Amino acid sequence: MKVLLIGSGAREHVIAETLKKNKQTILYSYLKSKNPGIISLSKGFEIGNYNDLGRISDYAKKIKPDLAFIGPEEPLSNGVADLLTESNINAVGPTKSLARLETSKSFTRNLLKKYRIEGNPKFEIFNRENIKNAKGFIDDLNGCVIKPDGLTGGKGVKVQGDHFKTNKEALEYCNEVLQTHPSVVVEEKFEGEEFSLQCLSDGKNVIAMPPVQDHKRAFVNDKGPNTGGMGSYSCEDHLLPFLTKKEIDKGLIITQKVADAIYRETGEFYKGVMYAGLILTKEGVKLLEYNARFGDPEAMNVVPLLETDFIEVCNAMINQNLNKIKIKFQNKATVCKYLVPEGYPDNPAKNKKINIRKVPQNARIYYASVEQREDGLYSTSSRAIACFGIADNLENAERIAEEATKSVKGRLFHREDIGTKRLIEKRVNHMKEILG
């Protein structure tokens, strides 16, 4: 079984490791940078950009894989799934059109609205012609979120109270977005606790993986600027401390309806990961956004829990028989903590040497944005190393992940509080306050 994996982050490192648990897997990888973890698991690899469709196509034709897995959003938004399908290569990951679930915020909001799927906030979409109506809409909301309509690498979304204060500033940001994007989505701001529900879809059947909570702020105690995610946890009971099974099921119901709506709207089946960014509010579970891929770091929390062969799961997504296989997850708690360059995200210390000493036996590390050079490992401007703990309960998983951070030396920092009892209690109390 030849598998081509596209992507070079920690998310793809854990995907590679899990694909290789099947002894038949021969892994090839197409990476943007030399991730030593993925390369050590690969029989062959190619370095190139995710928009170099010719290079990806040539490499895929040379390898002739039985299966391809596309990890990040960038190749999905460039149509790599379409390209592979044209060469008769089965790909896990949506086509360019269906990746609009992530790349076009207006597509997703309009889809939920048209098919009367619950979970949407109040929202309006503005362009240069109707932007004059934005003031009235924003004034009627009790706090807003502004989303450029397109991929922004996690940096474009701005939340009132966090990134700006007044309605005037909201309007100014809308106008700024319209300089570079054809439209901007303005939404009602939700109050609550966020969680990630990563679902596997074959276009007809949707299966939820255990829920995960990510931590976006850079510093301990949820201080500092937003990041791609500083770390995440999941629990052995496949719930979260502030979340019931009913609320998780609601997220799955919404996602199943979205998969059905995508088919009705486009005539195409969505084969890949539908990552629902959800929030529990006083009014129930609401949808913040969808991503067309696994989360990073959230992939680290769920993919290693799979008891079912990942190759079998991928084939079931492609062959549309996810309902015919039993997908099982270990009842373990997980904690992932990202080591990131000092100064990240605003002024990261890049090109700095990283040394990895003895990793504790029960911990794992996954390589993210690092560069393997002849004289060792170096940081780049983004998240460097994911330290991962898995155990029977959260306390032990957190301790293992924290221990693992000590084996990595360099100009890096991490959030010690992720997965700790104190922070979890804060989340639970926040939710109690909101629910009243």
Chain residues that interact with ligand GLY, rule: CB under 6 A: 154, 214, 229, 291, 295-296, 298
Q: Confirm if 307 and 330 have CB atoms less than 8 A apart.
A: yes
Report, in Å, the least distance between residue 296 CB and ligand GLY. 4
Bridge partners for 280 per DSSP: 193, 285
Cα 409 to Cα 398: distance, rounded to the nearest angstrom: 19
Report, in Å, the least distance between residue 262 CB and ligand GLY. 20
Report, in Å, the least distance between residue 297 CB and ligand GLY. 6
Cα 243 to Cα 262: distance, rounded to the nearest angstrom: 28
Q: Choose between 203 and 295: whose C-beta lies nearer to ligand GLY.
A: 295
Q: Choose between 336 and 377: whose C-beta lies nearer to ligand GLY.
A: 336
| E-assigned strand segments in 255-379 | 272-281, 284-291, 333-341, 353-356, 363-367, 370-373, 376-379
Q: Cα dist. 370→58, 94, 335, 352, 412 in Å?
A: 26, 27, 21, 10, 12
- Compute and round to an integer the Cα radius of gyration of the chain: 21
Q: Choose between 48 and 154: whose C-beta lies nearer to ligand GLY.
A: 154
Report, in Å, the least distance between residue 381 CB and ligand GLY. 17
3-state DSSP assignment of residue 233: strand
Cα 387 to Cα 398: distance, rounded to the nearest angstrom: 10
Q: Choose between 149 and 214: whose C-beta lies nearer to ligand GLY.
A: 214
- Say which DSSP state 309 is in: -
∠ Cα 45 46 48 (to 5°): 150
Q: Choose between 37 and 71: whose C-beta lies nearer to ligand GLY.
A: 71
Q: Choose between 102 and 124: whose C-beta lies nearer to ligand GLY.
A: 102
Report, in Å, the least distance between residue 86 CB and ligand GLY. 28
Report, in Å, the least distance between residue 214 CB and ligand GLY. 5
